Amino acid sequence: MTDERSEGPPVSNDAARLGRDARDAIQPPAAAAFGRVWPTLLIYLVLPALLAVFLLRFVAAVTWMVSGSMAPALRADSGAVDGVFIDKLTPRLREPGRGEIVYFRSPTGEWVCKRVVGLPNEEVELKDGLVVVNGRAVVDHPALARIKYVNGGHLEPGTRVRIRPGNLLVLGDDSSDSWDSRYFGCVPAGEIAGLARAVIWPPSRIGWL
């Protein structure tokens, strides 16, 4: 008995390869699809997120005033709560100077802004509303000269504070409503997290400090 088989025309290698390519084009493998997508995800999602974390940790931040202790330079009243741009880079390069507004964690754990009035190795007192450093009133600094400070705490009338090396004496501009170095003492310069550089909100208050 003869075994008869029905066979079609032979398929060439080129035709078979074309068939596989066509199937791959219609239904690409998942791994291949992800391989094409992940560079885009890296560029548009992962890298910006990492950059934002780096900037907020080491370079800059934004804080919102929670009290009026720095008014009128920085406000936190019912009419306007200031959003403040904090420069975190400069304190890593140098110590803050007199008149600069520093950003640090207070002994109560709150992040606050206060103005530097006394530097390491100085003797500071408050007399007639003025800051007196080493026996001389500071009247040539535009930020300090326009502020009338209130005695209290460690800076009662006639009392001088000697600032230890590596420390800063800080006060609120509205010292009648400020908890500052008069009460919790000087702040180590190494604990200064940033410098307040500008008000960025609300729009009517935008400006450099």
Residue in 182, 200, 199, 196 with CA at minimum distance from that of residue 104: 196
d(C-alpha 83, C-alpha 72), whole Å = 14
d(C-alpha 102, C-alpha 116), whole Å = 7
Could you tell me the two tokens for 15? 């035709």
Radius of gyration of the chain (CA): 33
| Biggest CA pair distance of the chain | 129
Active site residues: 69, 114
Angle value at C-alpha 52, between 187 and 106, nearest 5 degrees: 15
- Secondary element (H or E) of residue 193: strand 192-201
Could you tell me the two tokens for 92? 């890593």
What is the residue type of 26?
I
User: Are the CB atoms for 71 and 176 separated by under 8 Å?
Assistant: no
